[in-house]
A and B are shown apart, each in its own frame.
Chain A
Amino acid sequence: MTAPNRAVVPAGNIYDLGYRHYEGKRHGRWYAAWSLYVESMRGVWGFGRPMTAKAAPFILLGLYAFPSLIQIAFSSVISQSVAEGRATGLFAYDNYYARISFFIVLFCVAQAPELVCRDQRYNVLPLYFTRALGRLDYAFARLAALATALFMVLALPMIALFVGDVLMKPDTLQAIGDEWPKALPAIPACALAAVSLASISLALSAFSPRRAYSAIGLIAYFLLMEIVPVVIYSVGRQADWTWADKLVLLAPNTALAAAADWFFGVGLVTQGSEGYPPTLGSDAYVVAVVASIVVFAGILLFRYRRVQA
């Protein structure tokens, strides 16, 4: 590097160090989007930010994974009965999400606004949109980052269950062989849940520059959409409304829990659990979840096409 422009400034000037032009490589929008993705991942987990920013994601990760760890801790006690076929573990790959989903929703409520509200609140968006990054690249990078973070949260207890189950067996290699097919469907199931929750929570968060309002909006959405369709369905069941069962597809967590059955082949829907209409198969829930991803990702992109920069 050369320094052709050594600044000529009066003595005593503190900036007397010259300026060097940058002659190196410049990447395009894909690199820009990737950089934003990386920064978003750091942001979600609070790296490069004060300790307080790390508290929410890691506590919620811990809370979500906690039951699986407890199960491992006590599995020596219950493994005997499990091995003898007298009992099954409380948590399994196919029902974990349905039982603990509360904390993952909280994770969305806490971290989705973190990703999209700050930039609007502090007017950072113009700096992005006047660079190599496009508006839709921005939305996609943020969405991908939240989905990845959620996938990590969702996958951790699955890994814990897998490791716990394998280690409890006397023959580790054989245990891996036995467990693997059972655990495998958890990967697409977690991925679907991660993308779905990420698109819902980012799309809704992006409409307010204030984190608190976004969080309240998300809580309201997840609560109301969980309760209202199920209530209408139970009322409708007695009143013989044939259309009411379809409403359950709109409930985000119910739909996700039921859609997991499609991957595992067993579970809530097939067992005819309470709150899951017998008229709907797990494939209907998968379609509903995919449709919701399309709709909310569309809302997110629409928002970023329009948002003031």
Chain B
Amino acid sequence: MSLIETTGLSKHYGQVKALDMLDLRVEPGIIGLVGANGAGKSTLIKILLGVIAPTSGTASVLGMDVLREGASIRRVVGYMPEHDCLPPDVGATEFVSHMARISGLPRSAARERTAEVLRHVGLYEERYRQIGGYSTGMKQRVKLAQALVHDPKLLLLDEPTNGLDPVGRDEMLDLIKRTGNDFGIAVVVASHLLGEIEQVCSYLLAVDAGRLLRAAPITTFTARTPVLAVEVEEGADRLAAALAARGFKTRAEESCVLVALEDEALYDAVRDTVADLELPLIRIEQERRRLEDLFRDAAPVAGSAQ
């Protein structure tokens, strides 16, 4: 039985096609769902939850049809929304155990599970304080806790790292990884940042404009060279040419030169070349891989400098 299966799934809002003939078949694991904002990630998640109905096509979660068996799906699925969803004037314990009871857990079990889950997400003494006083990172943990509290078979996380600083993001990703790998709960993580999703996922779904771009195990995505972006105020083409002459794969892009980061010597080479050419350097940055790069079949860094 596959985790998620859709055939010809479409959702139209007037003229806008949020989802367009989506065919999916996903096996359990940690599934990354990547796409730019508005690509249809949230729409897909809400259809899987049975909260909104598709315009056409069918979808099933854990073998249950989203239209006919939505209630049964919702009992075994945990959902962490993208936006804030916590009332500020109650404590985390009170809120999460209330949500556990809404999920059907008896009172004592709800209390036990709440304590356990809050500990898992890393909330301790502060769990009795009002949520309104929490940091964004703590709120994200509470959101994850309420999705986990009824021990779902599938977790749907919509942008779980939203608004987190780098440390908080790593902690959240680590939690997701542990939830998927150690707890044995299937996870779907929606994100627009491929860079963070590839750290935790075993399988990647890429959507764009409501269509499936690619679905494959993560390993087929990550075998690629990182890219160093060197931005200069002027003379980008001269820099590109000079670096190419030193044997690096480069491409000039307006005021930016993209260089394939194959070995550490590149940093020195860039420094020396920029100094030699006396170019006004603005920044050197290891490019975060952007989605566009992913779907551009040609390598992002061509072997020539033009």
When distances are taken between beta carbons in the complex, the residues of chain A under 8 Å from B104 are 26-28, 31-32, 131-132
**In the bound complex, CA of A193 to CA of B94 (Å):** 32
Interface residue stretch chosen among A105-113, A120-128, A253-261: A120-128
**In the bound complex, CA of A19 to CA of B183 (Å):** 6
Please determine whether B109 and A24 come into contact, CB atoms closer than 8 angstroms.
yes
Chain B 24-50: CB-based contact to A (< 8 A → 1; otherwise 0): 000000000000000000000000010
Out of B75, B83, B85, name the residue touching A26 (CB < 8 Å): B75
**In the bound complex, CA of A123 to CA of B87 (Å):** 8
Out of B103, B120, B122, name the residue touching A32 (CB < 8 Å): B103
Please determine whether A19 and B182 come into contact, CB atoms closer than 8 angstroms.
yes
Out of A36, A49, A309, name the residue touching B102 (CB < 8 Å): A36
Please determine whether A25 and B178 come into contact, CB atoms closer than 8 angstroms.
no
B236 contacts the other chain (Cβ, under 8 Å)? no
Chain B interface size, under 10 / 10 to 19 / 20 to 34 / 35 or more: 35 or more
Task: Answer whether A132 and B183 are a contact pair too, CB < 8 Å, given A22-B109, A28-B104.
Answer: no
Q: Nearest Cβ in chain B — how far from A111, in angstroms?
A: 14
Please determine whether B102 and A131 come into contact, CB atoms closer than 8 angstroms.
yes
Counted as pairs of residues, one from A and one from B, with CB atoms less than 8 Å apart, the total is 114
A279 contacts the other chain (Cβ, under 8 Å)? no
A7 contacts the other chain (Cβ, under 8 Å)? yes
A219 contacts the other chain (Cβ, under 8 Å)? no
Task: Answer whether A32 and B101 are a contact pair too, CB < 8 Å, given A5-B182, A20-B116, A27-B106.
Answer: yes
Task: Answer whether A50 and B130 are a contact pair too, CB < 8 Å, given A7-B182, A123-B81.
Answer: yes
Please determine whether A132 and B75 come into contact, CB atoms closer than 8 angstroms.
yes
**In the bound complex, CA of A133 to CA of B113 (Å):** 19
Please determine whether B105 and A26 come into contact, CB atoms closer than 8 angstroms.
yes
A29 contacts the other chain (Cβ, under 8 Å)? yes
When distances are taken between beta carbons in the complex, the residues of chain A under 8 Å from B116 are 19-20
Please determine whether B130 and A123 come into contact, CB atoms closer than 8 angstroms.
no
Chain B 95-130: CB-based contact to A (< 8 A → 1; otherwise 0): 000110111111001000100100110100000001
Q: Nearest Cβ in chain B — how far from A270, in angstroms?
A: 47
Chain A interface size, under 10 / 10 to 19 / 20 to 34 / 35 or more: 35 or more
When distances are taken between beta carbons in the complex, the residues of chain B under 8 Å from A127 are 79, 81, 85, 99, 102, 146
Chain A 59-79: CB-based contact to B (< 8 A → 1; otherwise 0): 000000000000000000000
A85 contacts the other chain (Cβ, under 8 Å)? no
Q: Nearest Cβ in chain A — how far from B173, in angstroms?
A: 13
Residue in A closest to B110 when the chains form the complex, CB atoms: A35
A306 contacts the other chain (Cβ, under 8 Å)? no
Chain A 23-43: CB-based contact to B (< 8 A → 1; otherwise 0): 011111101100110010000
Out of B79, B86, B151, name the residue touching A21 (CB < 8 Å): B151
When distances are taken between beta carbons in the complex, the residues of chain B under 8 Å from A7 are 178, 182
**In the bound complex, CA of A5 to CA of B120 (Å):** 13
A15 contacts the other chain (Cβ, under 8 Å)? yes
Specify which of B86, B101, B116, B122 lies most central, judged by the most chain A CB atoms within 10 Å of its CB.
B101
Task: Answer whether A32 and B102 are a contact pair too, CB < 8 Å, given A122-B86, A124-B86, A130-B79.
Answer: yes
Chain B 61-101: CB-based contact to A (< 8 A → 1; otherwise 0): 00000000001001101010101111111100010001101
Would you call the interface of chain A mostly helix, strand, loop, or mixed? Answer: loop
B192 contacts the other chain (Cβ, under 8 Å)? no
Residue in B closest to A129 when the chains form the complex, CB atoms: B51
Task: Answer whether A131 and B183 are a contact pair too, CB < 8 Å, given A29-B71, A122-B88, A124-B86.
Answer: no
When distances are taken between beta carbons in the complex, the residues of chain A under 8 Å from B183 are 5, 19, 21
When distances are taken between beta carbons in the complex, the residues of chain B under 8 Å from A223 are none
A303 contacts the other chain (Cβ, under 8 Å)? no
Residue in A closest to B121 when the chains form the complex, CB atoms: A15
B217 contacts the other chain (Cβ, under 8 Å)? no
Out of B49, B88, B182, name the residue touching A130 (CB < 8 Å): B49
Residue in B closest to A19 when the chains form the complex, CB atoms: B183
Residue in A closest to B50 when the chains form the complex, CB atoms: A130
Please determine whether B74 and A132 come into contact, CB atoms closer than 8 angstroms.
yes
When distances are taken between beta carbons in the complex, the residues of chain B under 8 Å from A170 are none
Task: Answer whether A122 and B151 are a contact pair too, CB < 8 Å, given A24-B109, A26-B75.
Answer: no
Q: Nearest Cβ in chain A — how far from B155, in angstroms?
A: 12
Task: Answer whether A39 and B49 are a contact pair too, CB < 8 Å, given A17-B119, A130-B74.
Answer: no
Interface residues of B (CB under 8 A from A): 49, 51, 71, 74-75, 77, 79, 81, 83-90, 94, 98-99, 101-106, 109, 113, 116, 119-120, 122, 130, 146, 150-151, 175, 178-179, 182-184
6 further interface pairs, Cβ-Cβ under 8 Å (given A53-B89, A130-B77):
A8-B182, A27-B104, A27-B106, A50-B89, A132-B103, A132-B104
**Could you pull out 6 A-B pairs where Cβ atoms are within 8 angstroms?**
A28-B75, A28-B104, A39-B101, A122-B85, A127-B79, A130-B49
